[in-house]
Structure 1
Amino acid sequence: MKRNSIYTKVLSLISLSVAFWFVSCDKELNLQPISEISADEFYNNAEDINLAVVGIYNGMYDVLDKEWILTELRSDNTYMSPRNSETANVPFRQVDRFVLTSQNIHVEDYWRACYRVISLANNVINQIDVVEDPELAGRYEGEARFFRAHMYFNLVRLWGGVFLVDRPISGAEAKTMDRSTTEEVYDFLLEDLEFAAENLPGTADGSELGRLTRWAAKTELGKALLTRGGTENINRAVTELSDVVHNSPFAYLDDYAGVFDISNEYNSEILYAVRYQTGSVGLGAPFANYFAPMQSDDFVVRGNGDELNVPSTSLSQTYEAGDERKAASMADTWIGYNGIVNESKHIIKYNSDFATVDDAGNDWPVIRFTDAMLLLAEAINEVNGPTSEAIDLLNKVHERAGLTAYDNSEVGSYFDFKLALEKERKLEFAFENQRWFDLVRTGRAITVMNTHFATEDQYNDPDRPQFNTNPIEEYQLLLPIPQYEIDLNPAIAQNIGY
């Protein structure tokens, strides 16, 4: 069991935050889950604010429960198992095949979860003046603003322009809001990340283990600048990411598998992860069961798997011989009764020993040090081409996987380096909700996904033509605004094509 960390604070807050969420689950727009509760009466001092901040961390559980559906399942890394019947788990298959509508439950649930976190953050920011210590106030506000920015960064990449809410609002006010532009959303979230980078502490140890540091904020800031694009933003990204890579106390581990070892969580490579704990305490992770093969009983993880997120054939084949990341991330088979080998690809990155279904203890990494390294290499390549520093950063990650370093002749041009980096990130961050965002950022999503649909068997089965999938179009890079938002305010513009 993990001790001396944010877990103890999360456990003490669960009943409080759940009560808040139940009060608010039917509010209009769901942009203000606790804004109609008397925050003035609750947030009276620094201890109250601290509990509220921990509530924001707790809000990430609902976010991650759906995020893999709209990112990983929507990428070429995975697909919805063809062994599920045509009528089973239809909303998952709609996302996988890009035939979802504005009424898809996963689109709605993820949208709501993000805005719950934003609302929790807004309540902290709105009441931060009750904290008398300026340094402590800056830290708490920095944590709140990081999470608000993180939610908006995901929202803007998935939906484009969304509703900017920077304070607690009433249901009546929410119904009159309009979507902000993509540029306005980026301006807003970058300001939040800059504040977080300036005010969060450099370390978080002991009882604070698991809380954010300025280095996590700087990495997110660098990624957001790189994603927004433009010479000035990319140059700024180089500055922020260089600071993380060269000056932070974080470092990549020698062993890739060790990064995800449940006995070594929050190691030097983890800048921020959502923490889970097994033991039927309400903090267990469901992903091992979501991703394990169906009818695998207890041979893969405790209880049957749902097989909702299956590694693609192309991903399995992309790993080179000797790439140690594959054995730590996925398997092509599993051994069942009487030693029978079952051909069934499945994710193992989040597997561990646990006694109750949907109660694994594996943390989910959100920001890793190797992410900062490869983002820095990408930013350098965008500005100056593949310099020796950029190639060195790529090779450090590549060699850590047990592979031979790239020769300069293999990655010496801008486009060769870009493709090598794309492949490296695909394998380095497999099943960590990074792949879809990478493809969108680099402008490669349509090309890669249409190849995926044209070559993977499950989308081209003549015996199951109902699962065949057409090439995607530009408009499908964005998700539809949830229908309930449009119903509440018909003046809101739906994304084109939906």
Structure 2
Amino acid sequence: MKKKILILLLLLSVVISDSCKKDLLKPTDPNKLTQQGFFNKVGDATEAVLGVYLAAREMFYKTYAWDGGSEMAYSRINGRPYSNYAPGASFGSSVSRHWNDGYRCINRANYVIVNVKKMEAATTNSADLDELHRIEGEAMLLRAMAYFRLIDLWGDVPYYTNVLTGNDEAYSLERTDRSIIKDNIIADLDTAANYIPITVAKAEQGRATRAAVYGYRGKIKLYWACWAKTAGNLGEAQTYYAAAAADFAEVMKPIYGRTLYKGGDPGTADNPSYGELFDGAHEDAAYASEVIFAFTNGGPSFNTSDGQSDEFYGDTYLYDFGTRSTGAGGVNMAPEIRLVNRYQLLSTGGFAPPLIPLNPTTVPDARTRTNSAVNPASYVGRDYRMQATIMWDGTKINEILADGTVTSRELTFLYKTNAPTPPYLFADGAFTGYIFRKYIRQVSGYAREAGPQDSWMMRLPDVWLMYCEATNEVSGPTSECFDLIDKIRHRGNLPPLNRGQFGDKTSFFNAIEQERIIELAAEGSRFFDIRRWNEVEKIWPQPNGSPLISTWNETVRDEFKNAIDRDYQRFYLFQIPPAEIIKNPKITQNEPWL
């Protein structure tokens, strides 16, 4: 079992929890911690950078919730990053906490980098210097991730790398052109790539490796290429696509040891290997194979001197993905029928006819009609990853008690049915007619907000697909890229792509998009993908948009109905939190929100 790195800060202190042990190391008393008495030894710097990890973990906490802003998942998660979101509404106004979390991470990273540089200048011991460089590189990576997310959502934002001296300095900052920020964070990652090791000890699992640096450096370049392409700067776009592909190719080298979990073996239809990546029982194996970067979560019985406990340090998958019958969850994340329709047939590798939403109380043969969304037979013979990701009418799962105990009592999901006999899964709030199986833990001992499952921020298939996207933009489909996508498809037991059918840039991009939707479902990617591809108007065309319909043919919500251009613009560029402008009038509001 690995050690979990978890951090409690007032200024900077650290708790390291070993999941094999009951007792925890006690953190340094933050009330006794002063800047003058800190950063005297390498251990101080290590504690400090773990504080940056905590701030970054907070910024990217519940990253899956962003999928609720796409067309593939329904979300009603409050606060992170949005509440009861419907496309076209005041989306940006509800994410001020994300802005604040970003700058908290940046402030802590700046504090570490500035002070560690001073330690490096005074250090003669080569081993200590190597470790200090590593710490500096980690802080640079986390700061780059924070700035990258900020410029993605808000465009030009305040940029600084010093330790702010007080409110006067903070309130004097102006917005910096995001191209300058992009250049600076890429330069930081150039440095971090030289400082951060290729591998880390198992006890340090959760700290960054060099593969994460190259992965995020490539991702920043890829997004910049997409933005340049949308702006019509095609030469710049091509330059960044090529640079992104080179970074992803670096991650794919054997020296980094990344491979698909279980070699990409699909498992069986009833027990797909893909599901093990998210079931809470195979975390170490996932790290050893395809995880590029993750944030750690603590598990049960984690209590600290400030009163923060499981709810702050554990994973929250059962709370958001589970039902009352599976860990006392609230179905705060649910798949949409548009996601289900993307799972392809094993027989042909192509799409099945779209599912037909039917209300079984008014359509007598709804549960037996061909292609009916409430007919269990409509879901047979599809990509194995669907079984590991989604539950539909007739699927079964073991009961999970509120304390996290997985019982032997098998429950059947049937939308709108919560009767105790036969044992139906209690799933109030499953408004779309589907619920997620992905992330529902299959091991006992972890209550809904006290799980140990780490949050995967980047996995190898994500890198492969970004590499294929960048390569396709530069040179069109290549044999190598076809091979990579076929390996991803094989984990769903799908046949290889027909290379004649996907031989041009446009069709091959569609194949990449398809695999990103399925492979990365509910991992927080889809929302950002459709924004960087400038696809929002295509997904929700006027005048009717694309209303969300349940399996019972109910309208769950209208999306972008009768939208105006400003509604789309607000999806691409968020509102600067008004409170920030009140505090600092030098920060101007984004135009779509004026």
Change (3 A) 1:463 1:387: closer
- Name the residue aligned to 1:456: 548
- Name the residue aligned to 2:220: 224
Following the alignment from structure 1 to structure 2, what is the Cα–Cα distance between the partners of residues 64 and 187?
22
- Name the residue aligned to 1:291: 321
Following the alignment from structure 2 to structure 1, what is the Cα–Cα distance between the partners of residues 485 and 81?
37
Q: Please, which of 170, 179, 182 is the counterpart of residue 174 of structure 1?
A: 170
- Report 1:317-356 matches (<5 A): 317-321=341-345, 322-333=382-393, 335=413, 337-338=420-421, 339-340=423-424, 344-352=433-441, 353-356=444-447
Following the alignment from structure 1 to structure 2, what is the Cα–Cα distance between the partners of residues 464 and 325?
25
Change (3 A) 1:125 1:465: closer
- Name the residue aligned to 1:26: none
Gapped runs of 5+ residues in structure 2?
15-29, 226-236, 265-272, 303-309, 346-381, 394-411
Change (3 A) 1:16 1:313: same
Q: Is 1:64–2:60 an aligned residue pair?
A: yes
Change (3 A) 1:312 1:181: same
**Partner SS for 2:281:** helix
Following the alignment from structure 2 to structure 1, what is the Cα–Cα distance between the partners of residues 531 and 91?
20
Following the alignment from structure 2 to structure 1, what is the Cα–Cα distance between the partners of residues 80 and 57?
23
Cα distance per residue 1:19-71 (max 9 Å; x no partner) = 99xxxxxxxxxxxxx9xx953432222111100111122223322335444x2
Cα distance per residue 1:77-124 (max 9 Å; x no partner) = 21236xx9xxx99994553333126642xx111111111111111111
TM-score (norm 1): 0.85
- Percent identical pairs in the alignment equals 26
What amino acid is the match of 1:195?
Answer: T
- Name the residue aligned to 2:268: none
C-alpha displacement of 1:355: 4.4
Change (3 A) 1:264 1:435: same
Q: Give the length in aligned residue pairs.
A: 462
Following the alignment from structure 1 to structure 2, what is the Cα–Cα distance between the partners of residues 269 and 449?
34
- Report 1:49-198 matches (<5 A): 49-65=45-61, 67-69=63-65, 71-80=66-75, 92-93=82-83, 95-100=85-90, 103-104=93-94, 107-128=95-116, 129-131=118-120, 132=123, 133-169=128-164, 170-198=166-194
- Report 1:205-224 matches (<5 A): 205-224=201-220
Following the alignment from structure 1 to structure 2, what is the Cα–Cα distance between the partners of residues 91 and 351?
21
- Name the residue aligned to 1:24: none
What amino acid is the match of 2:341?
Answer: Q
Of stretches 433-442 and 420-429 in structure 1, the one that deviates more from structure 2 is 433-442
Following the alignment from structure 1 to structure 2, what is the Cα–Cα distance between the partners of residues 316 and 239?
34
Gapped runs of 5+ residues in structure 1?
21-33
Following the alignment from structure 1 to structure 2, what is the Cα–Cα distance between the partners of residues 252 and 366?
16
C-alpha displacement of 1:421: 0.5
Following the alignment from structure 1 to structure 2, what is the Cα–Cα distance between the partners of residues 89 and 400?
34
Following the alignment from structure 1 to structure 2, what is the Cα–Cα distance between the partners of residues 327 and 17?
45
Contact 1:226/1:234 (<8 A) preserved: yes
Following the alignment from structure 1 to structure 2, what is the Cα–Cα distance between the partners of residues 473 and 307?
28
Cα distance per residue 1:443-496 (max 9 Å; x no partner) = 3233124499414227xx998888874444234311111111011122321112
**Partner SS for 1:273:** strand
**Partner SS for 2:391:** strand
Change (3 A) 1:272 1:79: same
RMSD over aligned Cα atoms: 2.9
Contact 1:259/1:267 (<8 A) preserved: no
Q: Please, which of 267, 283, 292 is the counterpart of residue 288 of structure 2?
A: 267
What amino acid is the match of 1:331?
Answer: M
